[in-house]
Amino acid sequence: MALIKFKNVGIKSVSACVPKNIEKNKSLSYLFTNKELQEVIKSTGISERRIASESICASDLCYKAADNLLNNMDIDRKTIDMLIFMSQAPDYKIPATSPHLQYRLGLPKTTATIDITHSCSGYVYSLSTAFSFVTQDGINRVLLLDGETFSKYISKKDKINIPLYGDAGTATLIEKGNFGHSYFSLNSDGSGVDVLKIDAGGARNPTSLLNINEVELEDGNFRSPHQLYMDGMEVFNFTMMNVPKDIKKILKFACLNFYDIDKVVFHQANKLMTDFFSKKLKILSKKVPYSIDRFGNTSSASIPLTIVSELKTKQNNNVILSGFGAGLSWGTALLNLKGCEIFPLIEI
């Protein structure tokens, strides 16, 4: 059972960057009738999304967020001991993206670098990794960069996915300090590997002339094996079954209850799903922030993006973070964010 407890390690500051380009879901009238569009916007809670241009990668968004954080905190860049890049949209297959981010940010050559590839639970997973490294004697500060450009993986003729996904990059500074205790629960169920998937382009199904073109599918959508497939009902059922139980588990592990929690930041998958969690767990609506209406589903970056856009106060003592998605995987964290510096959202 992957239940982890940390002491005196925490988040010092968070920053986020989104593309300037706004795509409104009402502009998708070429795919939907007006009635269908209204229903999509209502059920997902997504009115608009930020979409990266062809020249902007997830690493570019993360770079801007990190540079903003380091400058505003007046951090000596020589004090960053490790950089972690969490993304499903790396610059290249080889090399890893994190060493180049170390170079671009002017961090010393003694900075350890790691790429992590995970799903919408990736922020919780990579945050636990950062916390683990900071507990070591030789590491005092870790810079976690989490960014996604899922819009590049979506067919423009895919009714299921195109209204959902947006792009964002974030930076989180983790360090030793008087943060009290933090708790993590990490879980996976690989039997659901096919539920949310980009099938082609990896070693198991390499790129070929047979799989690069979009084709019309049985449901009337157009998609290539290099673009995202999602079985929405299976994802919904998986999250309903596992996410509320995991949140209860982390509260029990920490010997706390919902009255002790200031905010619950869910991965921003869709509003219908998050509303269901809140109702099932009897969480007050004021404790559940949303950013999905303006940014869409930004995959693993959605939790830190929501922190930046919605948690503008330093008085969030106990905050639950809940991520879930492809793999299938899910994770929950309970942290003390009191005093955390949260910088205004920036754009490029």
The candidate with the shortest Cα–Cα distance to 158, out of 99, 63, 225, 203, is 225
Q: What pLDDT sits at residue 311?
A: 93
- DSSP for 18-42, please give it: E-S-EEEGGGGGGTS-HHHHHHHHH
Q: What pLDDT sits at residue 217?
A: 81
Q: Which of 267, 270, 316, 340 is catalytic?
A: 267
Residue with tokens 């948690």: 311
Q: In one letter, which amino acid is 239?
A: T
Residue 294: partners with Cβ closer than 8 Å, 6 or more residues away: 47, 48, 309
Tokens representing residue 16 in the block: 């986020």
267 carries an active-site annotation: yes
Euclidean distance between the first and the last CA atom of the chain, given in angstroms as a whole number: 41
Q: What pLDDT sits at residue 162?
A: 93
For residues 320, 248, 176, 130, the Cα torsion angle rounded to the nearest 10 degrees is: -80
Residue with tokens 């049985």: 218
Q: SS3 breakdown of the chain: % helix, strand, coil, rounded to 5?
A: 35, 30, 40
297 carries an active-site annotation: yes
Q: What pLDDT sits at residue 286?
A: 92
Question: How far, in Å, CA of 346 to CA of 178, rounded?
Answer: 29
Kindly state the helix (H) or strand (E) to which residue 293 belongs, with its residue range.
Answer: helix 292-295
Q: Which of 297, 316, 318, 336 is catalytic?
A: 297
Q: Which of 17, 62, 120, 340 is catalytic?
A: 120
120 carries an active-site annotation: yes
Q: Are 184 and 3 in contact (CB under 8 A)?
A: yes
Fold of the CATH domain 1-348: Peroxisomal Thiolase; Chain A, domain 1 (3.40.47)
Query: Which portions of the chain are predicted below pLDDT 50?
Result: none
Q: What pLDDT sits at residue 200?
A: 84
Beta bridge partners of 50: 22
Kindly state the helix (H) or strand (E) to which residue 294 belongs, with its residue range.
Answer: helix 292-295
Q: What pLDDT sits at residue 1?
A: 64
Q: What pLDDT sits at residue 248?
A: 96
Q: What pLDDT sits at residue 336?
A: 93
pTM summary value: 0.96
Question: How far, in Å, CA of 67 to CA of 73, rounded?
Answer: 10
Q: In one letter, which amino acid is 249?
A: K
Q: In one letter, which amino acid is 153?
A: Y
